[in-house]
A and B are shown apart, each in its own frame.
Chain A
Amino acid sequence: MKGYALSGLLIAALLASSCKQDTVDSPAVVPPSATPLDLSAPWYFPQMDVPANNPTTVEGVQLGRRLYYDPILSTNGPMAGLSCSSCHAQELGFTVPNSPAGFHNVLPHVNLGWSSNFLWDGQVQGTLEDIMRFEVEEFFAVDVDVLQQHPEYPQRFKNALGNATITQDAVGKALAQWFRSMISSNSRFDQYVRYETTLTPSETNGMLLYLTETGDCFHCHGMPLLSDNGFHNIGLDSVFTGNDQGRFLVTGDPADLGAFKAPTLRNIALTGPYMHDGRFATLEEVIEHYNSGVKHSASLDPIMTKPGKETGLNLTPQQKADLVAFLHTFTDPVFLADTALASPF
């Protein structure tokens, strides 16, 4: 980790301004009533792509925040009475332990501004606007007439997006702005990278396991987002049926059987149960899967097929404990208690 040195910082800072890759859907138009918001992240984070037709503003983020916590989004259908926050509690890293019946284990809402693959199987790919449009139109089936009749929302949409006429697209844009503001970058691990703290011997040993072939976590959960945004079959099963088919259900490619998005490990100590189906209750169980429970299949990720480690990593009890200790350094108490991310109601 010492390689994240000052020289890297300076180079990253110099390059940062040239790395902004706003896409060109249409010219950036910030309504006169809105205040541009510059989202900040540490130097070792990637540049966040923000579509030019949905620039981030204070008013847009605040509107998205209200919508996130307001059950008004789901006045009809099976989600009626629920808000986004019903299944994404801040104190648990914006997830909950019990997913609704018929759904995959709930993924946390954190640092999704850097994601381009959404949901466990990547059913939606693209920008936050794309996934929010899916959530608004298909998951919640938002009735915009209800929002339009609300005493406050039309004015809030006008202030944030320049138009008091509420559309599903506008709801998705406001939510996308809010999600971009949900940044976790103050875990103990982040502080260690920034030379603001030190790790215990056990945590340091765990980090070395994580970042070398002994544990080999880094290929799919690399720094700093702790996810490569890709899909992997990590050997949970050898036969795949139903939702366990994962990415295959989207692509139809047999090579994707049993592959799921690598979730971020930020706040991982708080976001159990684990895996797409919540089959593991604790981090210890997760580590034991990688240690001794890997099941072979034709689509098993090649990274999982090291010679002599075909069924797992063969770690010692101490190594497993060290790895768990290191995973706990990904907990971000600032993010979990940030009042700017809490309910506005």
Chain B
Amino acid sequence: MLRRLLPSAFLLALLASGCKKENIDLPTPLPTSTPLLRISHMVDGQPLSQDTLAYTNEAGTPYSVTRLEYYLSELVLLGTGNTANDTLHGPWYVNADGTMDFGLNRLHTGTYSGATLLLGLPPALNTTGALPNTMANLNMAWPDPMGGGYHFIKFEGHFISAGTSSGYAMHIGTDTFLPHCTLPEAFNITSTGGKLLLTFNLNEVFRTPNTYDLATGNYSMGNMGLMTQLQENCADAFTIAYQP
């Protein structure tokens, strides 16, 4: 029954969006827009451009990015005193090659002292089959013989070491290595619409507290030492801001 109703629902959605477009030309104010979570990727101030050896990491290694896929979840907006004021659960699957805007159910106006975030999935969702069987989720599966659940991140590309090009694949998975990120930037949400802006600085993955050297750590999946380094380095890889 639901399947038969869906086309009608989509038609209504289409008509609704069509109405919004027509209203753009009218002088009356637009209704409050849907709040968005917008993800962007930077490399120490440079916007990410994939497939080019344009970046240099903390170890001084030139590298490119050919694949960047990951989950974000449990975005906690902190009020005064760093107490949780609002939690946006997600999860959000991010592919740097695709859409990086996600609709949010709500935003509460107020002053926030920062946020916390999981780069990956909470344990309750990190079990095989817990997420809908979309192609993206299936391709992020972390095989059961290796612990099950999902890749938290796939960060791949090429790098130059001793004059030779090679590949790297930094994958993180399993609950033990889930990166907990802290975003200390204070921000004000001034309307229930607007955008929460999350910026992922990829070079932070290679620095503090560990200088991650691709020449000695180009493949992390199944390597607990490397996944631990990446988990720790990712803790400060995101920043947050609000844009009305």
Chain A interfacial positions (CB closer than 8 Å to B): 1-5, 7-9, 11-12, 15-20, 22, 24, 27-28, 38, 44-47, 52, 114, 116, 208, 211-213, 218, 222-225, 228-230, 253-255, 298-307
**Chain B contact surface mostly:** mixed
Minimum CB–CB distance for B226 against chain A, Å: 10
A20 x B3 contact (CB < 8 A): yes
Decide yes or no: A46 and B143 within 8 Å by CB, A8-B127, A305-B167, A306-B219 being known contacts: no
Asked if B224 is at the interface (CB within 8 A of a chain A CB), the reply is: no
Residues from chain A with Cβ under 8 Å of B219 in the complex: 305-307
Residue of A8, A229, A307 touching B135 (CB-CB under 8 A):
A229
Return 13 A-B CB contacts under 8 Å, by A number: A3-B128, A3-B129, A3-B148, A12-B133, A15-B133, A16-B132, A22-B7, A52-B10, A211-B146, A222-B138, A255-B51, A302-B156, A305-B169
B6 x A22 contact (CB < 8 A): yes
Minimum CB–CB distance for A290 against chain B, Å: 15
Residue of B nearest to A254 (CB): B51
Minimum CB–CB distance for A219 against chain B, Å: 8
Residue of A46, A212, A253, A307 touching B133 (CB-CB under 8 A):
A46
Asked if B14 is at the interface (CB within 8 A of a chain A CB), the reply is: yes
Asked if B233 is at the interface (CB within 8 A of a chain A CB), the reply is: no
Residue of B129, B146, B221 touching A8 (CB-CB under 8 A):
B129
**Chain A contact surface mostly:** loop
Decide yes or no: A46 and B144 within 8 Å by CB, A38-B3, A255-B66, A303-B169 being known contacts: no
A298 to B218, CA, bound (A): 15
Residue of B nearest to A229 (CB): B135
Chain B interfacial positions (CB closer than 8 Å to A): 2-3, 6-7, 10-11, 13-14, 50-51, 64, 66-67, 127-135, 138-139, 141, 143-146, 148, 156-158, 165-169, 218-219, 221-222
Residues from chain A with Cβ under 8 Å of B138 in the complex: 46, 222-225
B10 x A24 contact (CB < 8 A): yes
Residue of B nearest to A2 (CB): B144
Decide yes or no: A4 and B128 within 8 Å by CB, A212-B222, A305-B166 being known contacts: yes
A19 x B132 contact (CB < 8 A): yes
Minimum CB–CB distance for A255 against chain B, Å: 4
Given pairs A19-B132, A24-B10, A52-B7, 7 additional interface contacts (CB within 8 A): A38-B3, A44-B129, A47-B132, A218-B141, A218-B143, A254-B51, A305-B218
Decide yes or no: A11 and B129 within 8 Å by CB, A3-B144, A47-B134, A307-B218 being known contacts: yes
Minimum CB–CB distance for A288 against chain B, Å: 21
